[in-house]
Amino acid sequence: MKCPFCGSVDNKVIDSRLSQGDEVTRRRRECDRCTRRFTTYERIELVLPMVVKKDGRREPFDRLKVLAGLRRACEKRPVASDQLEKLVDHIERDCVESGEKEIDATKIGEEVMRGLKELDQVAYVRFASVYRSFKDIHEFMAELSALLTQPKKDDGG
């Protein structure tokens, strides 16, 4: 690892810790030449599939884009960022474990909606209204009616 201060590649690890849910290794290093300390992070590089958009374009899976959509839907709602991160982790893991080189954007959208439905129904409706591009109020009301007819989940408390 190259020292960010002097450029030397001679350094030693003085501390290693797991962070971010044991997914990332944080290493504290000390340069042998200038004795300054710096931190590096090590994570597994996942081979993610390309996302096939509705218009046929292909783009790399972007967890930040998925997270941004979730945050927009959950704005001013009682949903913790940690819950959204876990949902994106789940979706990303499913994409990797599918073994596919390409995955339809609709599949990712459906996974997002399934996760939001469990987290917060208002956020789910917000996301669905944009994602499904309802043509009129009747389509929107049909989605709400379907949501209302589902049995309520027990909150356990």
Q: What is the pLDDT of residue 53?
A: 92
How far is CA 73 from its chain centroid?
Answer: 14
Say yes or no: 19 and 78 in one domain. no
In a domain, 25, yes or no: yes
Instruction: Please give the Cα distance from 92 to 5 (Å, whole number).
Output: 35
Domain that holds residue 39: 11-43
Residue-level pLDDT, tens digit, the chain, 157 residues: 899 999 999 999 999 998 767 778 999 999 999 999 999 988 777 778 899 998 999 999 999 999 999 999 999 999 999 999 999 999 998 998 888 899 999 899 999 999 998 999 889 888 887 777 777 777 777 777 877 777 665 544 4
For residue 11, report the phi and psi dihedrals to the nearest 5 degrees.
-150, 170
Write the CA distances from 102 to 20, 94, 95, 105, integer angstroms. Answer: 27, 13, 9, 9
Say yes or no: 74 and 34 in one domain. no
Say yes or no: 76 and 116 in one domain. yes
Write the CA distances from 97 to 49, 87, 91, 146, integer angstroms. Answer: 10, 15, 10, 31
In a domain, 72, yes or no: yes
Q: What is the pLDDT of residue 19?
A: 79
In a domain, 5, yes or no: no
Say yes or no: 27 and 71 in one domain. no
Neighbours of 11 (CB within 10 A): 22
Q: What is the pLDDT of residue 152?
A: 63
0.75 exceeded by the pTM? no
* 55 DSSP assignment: T
Say yes or no: 38 and 73 in one domain. no
Q: What is the pLDDT of residue 44?
A: 77
In a domain, 1, yes or no: no
Q: What is the pLDDT of residue 40?
A: 93
In a domain, 70, yes or no: yes
Say yes or no: 83 and 118 in one domain. yes
Query: Six-digit token pair at 119?
Result: 């987290």
Say yes or no: 75 and 140 in one domain. yes
Looking at the chain, which runs of residues are DSSP E strands?
11-19, 24-31, 37-43, 50-52, 58-60, 102-104
Q: What is the pLDDT of residue 79?
A: 93
Q: What is the pLDDT of residue 99?
A: 85
Say yes or no: 39 and 106 in one domain. no
In a domain, 6, yes or no: no
In a domain, 130, yes or no: yes
Say yes or no: 57 and 133 in one domain. yes
Q: What is the total count of domains within the chain?
A: 2
**pLDDT digit string, tens, across residues 116-155:** 989 998 898 888 877 777 777 777 777 778 777 776 655 4
Say yes or no: 145 and 86 in one domain. yes
